Structure formats: structure tokens, C-alpha cells
A = this chain, B = another copy of it.
Amino acid sequence: MRDYTAILSMHCPDRPGLVAGLTGIIHEAGGNILHLDQWVNHEENMFFMRVEWDMTGFAIPRGELDGWFESRFGSRHGVSYTLHLSDERPRMAIFVSKMPHCLYDMLARQAAGEWRVDIPLIVSNHPDLEQVARRFGVEFRCLPVTPDSKAGQEEAVLALLAGYGIDMVVLARYMQVLSDDFIQRYPHPVVNIHHSFLPAFMGARPYHAAHARGVKLIGATSHFVTAALDEGPIIEQDVVQITHKDTVDRLVRKGQDLEKIVLSRAVSKILDHRVLAYGNRTVVFE
């Protein structure tokens, strides 16, 4: 008996009968649908769906799911999709520099069993957080970056990611911009946390900029990393009210709580296969 579920996330051009067609073939193969969320972007005539079904008694073996879906539904409707089983454990690497708050929050969630993921690798351009990695028994690799060594460092990082079989990279206040070349060569999602409510305060030192502008709230934004800095599809954002009393130091402190919660919420949703990126936006099923 199989006590796991299948989770399909997909989008394709909208046309009549897509929900009926897909739920039909799942029922036909003996799948009991547990959750179904669908949404149509009428401006772009695009259909999005996340459907999760019980694999107990499902007629299609796990190794043949992709073929089944493609032949019965995907290829005829021009579908982009991912299909995951709930008992898979993706392998995540975390990139850090000197600030530990996001790293601790993620390692604690993984260690506590809150997330179904393995975290075999932490990469940093500074040695400062090695002890944090050690507390949780995670391999820590320090690869410093200088303007001259950047290309070589990224080459080494890509080799590490391949060697560890990493499915997903999270930049947890990694204070380096990944090159276009890196982004194009690494085939899996890269998630970042930026310490402002984007698109306000892109780039460096957003808390200083927020303080100088005199805003009454500060924010944090988690987004997929693309070639354009701080401009990838946004997954999650939140803000907190501040006052004139808040110095830059206090903004940093208030902001850290926001950063770690916003980043971890984004990662949670990705691990639940609730996030679909298309164009420069995301669909996030709740």
C-alpha cells in the first residue's frame, strides 16, 4: 500500500473542459483527489492548476507518471508542469555570508521536521557561520569571492551543487550577486530574500535608504533569482510598521525577523509545490 500523494502543478492556454478532462483521467486511474486549486488568468487566457491526489490504489506506477500525464493530457494541451510525489525529499543548499538569522531559522525548521527536505550543504563567501553549520551537522564550504576570482568561485560552486545533487538553492542573505552565467547554467530554482518591499529600495543598503527616505514601514521580499538583480518573480512579501524613533540599527533588527519569516514562508510554499512562476510573476496556491 502506498501512503503518499501526487502533486501536479501546471499551466497551459485556457480552453473549455480542462478541469473536467484532467479530473476525469485521474479518477479513471483510481486517484482520489484531495486538493484542487485552479485559476484562469483571463487577461492572458492562461489556465493554472494544482491538484493533489492519493496514490493508494492508483493504477499508474510512480515511474510512469510523467509518461501517463504527457500522453493523456499534457501534450495535447501544451502544458508546462511539474509532478512530484509527497515522499520525495528534495536536496537544498543554503548560501550565506555573515548574518545567521535566516540560516538558523531554516536549519531549525528542517531539524524539527517542519520541512520535508534535506540540507546537505551550506556555501559561504566568508568563514563566519561555520559554527552554525556545525551545530546542525551540515557540511560548510567557504569559497571567498574577489572581483578577480568571481568566475572561478562560481565554477567551483556549480561543481559543488552538482556533486551534492542539489535541487534548490536558497540565498539566505548571501551578499554576492550571482552572475548571469551562473543563473543560466544552474538548472534548478534559486530563491533570494531581499530586505525591502521591492521594487522600493533595490540594490545595496535598503535599510539605510529606507531611513533616509523616512518611510513608515519596512519590508522584505522573497523572489526567484533571474539575471536581472532584484527583479525576479516575487513569491512572498511582508512589511512591519516603523516610527521616526527607529534608527538604522533598529530597522536592521526589526527587519531581520521579517526577513527570516518571509524567506521561510516562501521556501515552505515551494516545498509544498504551491508556487508556479510564469513570465515575471508567480501564482501561489494557498
Contact = CB atoms under 8 A, between A and B. Distances in A.
B239 A214 contact: no
A106 B136 CA distance: 16
Given A112-B101, A215-B198, A34 B23 contact: no
A245 interface: yes
The quantity of this chain's copies bound in the complex is: 4
Contact of A284 (B16, B197, B243): B243
A283 B41 CA distance: 23
A286 interface: yes
Contacts of A19: 19-20, 23, 36
Contact of A197 (B33, B35, B38, B200): B200
Contacts of A241: 238, 241
Interface string A235-253: 1111101011101000001
A27 B23 contact: no
B201 A199 contact: yes
